[in-house]
Amino acid sequence: MIKAGIIGATGYAGVEILRILQSHPEVQIAAISSVSFEEQGIDTVYPNLYGIEERKLTHSDEVIAGSDVVFGSLPAGVSEEFAQKCVDRGAVFIDMGADFRLDDEAVYAKWYKQAYKRPELHEKAVYGLTEWNRAEIAKAPVIGNPGCFPTSVALGLWPALMGGLVKTGSIVIDSKSGVTGAGRGLTQNTHYAELNEGFAPYKIGAHRHTPEIEQTLSKMAGTQVQVVFTPHLLPINRGILSTMYLKFADGATLARAHAAYEDFYRKEPFVRVLRAGDIANVKNVRYSNYCDISLHEDAHTGTLIVVAAIDNMVKGAAGQAIQNMNVRFGLPETMGLTMVPPAF
């Protein structure tokens, strides 16, 4: 059995890891921690866990001391210290936040307004988009789980960029996220009265997932890619839907793109390329680790339109982290992750 610990277990991503791991046959929860709720039972913070998982929240040092794998579900800027302690002990650290996602320290400093405190640690870290980086993830001591929006975008565009089906010069990404994406802390725009009945973009031209998206898409395309990325806040709990607009390369067609996507993802257990004509919908991936992708065109402008849907808390966070843990520990990749999305 693998002993797993969670630092920041009271956050949305942390408690979602705890929920999914309840039914993982090869994982035993070692310890979970919180600063604000130390010594309280997790079920007092999240009563859905009453009678199922009632362990006390403890200190992060206890989590690290007792775990083979530690999930850090923390705000940006605080993970390095915990990652270092894990590396020193020989435990694997999987970071849910953004501290190990970007290759270039200067880019991180610009977008996250802080510097790396332990730059040498970042040389040991790999990017945790599972489908893209399995071989590296399988041996890494530190894994930077991708952002939720970048997961939907990268999986949605990878075959088009690799297959030369599109021009890389004008990529427009329009994404919508459910409100759990903002975490448990209340901000003005996540207040019920502000959110309910509303729908608007935020951080237009300035969202910190932009450099992460460009970094991954550039590697996939083999050339520097820039994107226009606009996130929106949806008044639903879970789900991300990214609608992406790209100009077809000369000679490319929707039918060719569809065949290429089906072929590309044929062996991927968590990526579903929908039948021609069907449309990806957040409703069909809720509570599951699936990424649904549908392909469309605007024929009169020669535009390929890719729609990708994930559950931000599962494939966009906790599910992908557990998928990475499975890869890292040599377990079947789907173990503990075969949740079927409910119909309604």
For residues 73 and 42, give the distance between their C-alpha atoms in angstroms, rounded to a whole number: 15
294 sits near ligand NDP (criterion: CB under 6 A): no
Of 172, 262, 168, the closest CA to residue 222 belongs to: 168
* Contacts of residue 229, Cβ cutoff 8 Å, sequence gap at least 6: 149, 153, 173, 175, 207, 209, 210, 213
Q: State the CB neighbour count (10 A cutoff) for residue 343.
A: 7
* Per-residue x/- track, 201-220, ligand X2W (CB under 6 A): --------x-----------
CB of 26 closer than 8 Å to CB of 46 = no
* Per-residue x/- track, 272-311, ligand X2W (CB under 6 A): ----------------------------------------
Q: Is the dihedral of CA 158, 162, 163, 165 positive or negative?
A: positive
Restricted to residues 208-227, the positions that interact with ligand NDP (CB under 6 A) are none
Helix (H, G, I), strand (E, B) or coil at 147: coil
By a kind-dependent CB cut-off of 5 to 8 A, residue 313 interacts, out of ligand X2W, ligand NDP, none, with ligand NDP
Restricted to residues 15-44, the positions that interact with ligand NDP (CB under 6 A) are 34-37
Binding part of the chain for ligand X2W, among 37-45, 87-95, 104-112, 175-183 by CB under 6 A, reads 175-183
By a kind-dependent CB cut-off of 5 to 8 A, residue 37 interacts, out of ligand X2W, ligand NDP, none, with ligand NDP
Restricted to residues 89-118, the positions that interact with ligand NDP (CB under 6 A) are 96-97
Q: Which of 92, 125, 148, 280 is catalytic?
A: 148
End-to-end CA distance of the chain: 35
291 part of the active site: no
**How far is CA 38 from its chain centroid?**
27
Interface residue list for ligand NDP (CB under 6 A): 8, 10-14, 34-37, 73-76, 78, 96-97, 147-148, 180-181, 183-185, 312-313, 316-317
Active site residues: 148
